[in-house]
Amino acid sequence: MKVFKYLFVFLLCTSCGAVVNYDYEKSTDFSKYKTYNYFDDMQTGLSQLDDKRIMRAIDAKLATMGLTRSENPDFFIDIQSQDIQNRNNTNIGVGAGGTGGNVGGGVAVGIPLNSNQRTRELIIDFVDKKQNERLFWQAVSESTYNPKASPEKREIAFAKLVEKIFSGYPPK
């Protein structure tokens, strides 16, 4: 029984990461995109300091992928962010069962853990301005964050999030 208890705690702890969904234009030749820059008028929804943190993390990741930031880029990056309402998954279940002549029943109530965590949705768009601002790749992530985290912890959190987001670029 102890094994199941430890397994449950392990699964609970490891499942608390960012969720990332990708979308892209199937007809895109991703190999032609070598340079990028950010839109000048981005309204990210982040603080100026967090803007710089996420852009540094993106720059570092894209550099490892062979892409370079340029004043005359092949594509532009747009970043949007918003706090989203926590989704508390409180569940109530009723069950009945039995074996032989014994019949039993039960009620189970799910209690949300970490309900005081804040959740942020982050959207990163890749846009080809040369083709009438055609969106060709998008990542939407949802992750928890601590608004009171130290600058160092924020830097680490953005680096981990960017690593996970760009694991889906280019699409396979």
Q: What structural domains and CATH numbers belong to the chain?
A: 34-84+114-172 (3.30.160.670)
- DSSP symbols for 137-162: EEEEEEEEE-TT--HHHHHHHHHHHH
Q: Is residue 37 classed as helix, strand or coil in its secondary structure?
A: strand
CA separation for the pair 86, 54 (Å, rounded): 23
Structure tokens at 114: 């970490």
- DSSP symbols for 69-104: E-SS-SEEEEEEEEEE-------EEEEEEEETTEEE
Tens digits of residue pLDDT in 47-79: 999 999 999 999 999 999 999 999 999 999 999
pTM of the model: 0.74
- The mean pLDDT of 124-144, rounded to a whole number, is 94
Looking at the chain, the whole-number percentage of residues with pLDDT higher than 90 is 63
Whether residue 108 is predicted with pLDDT greater than 90 in this model: the reply is no
- pLDDT of the residue at 14: 40
Nearest CA-CA partner of 145 in 47, 52, 66: 47
Q: What is the mean pLDDT of the chain?
A: 83
Whether residue 13 is predicted with pLDDT greater than 70 in this model: the reply is no
Tens digits of residue pLDDT in 142-166: 999 888 999 999 999 999 999 999 9
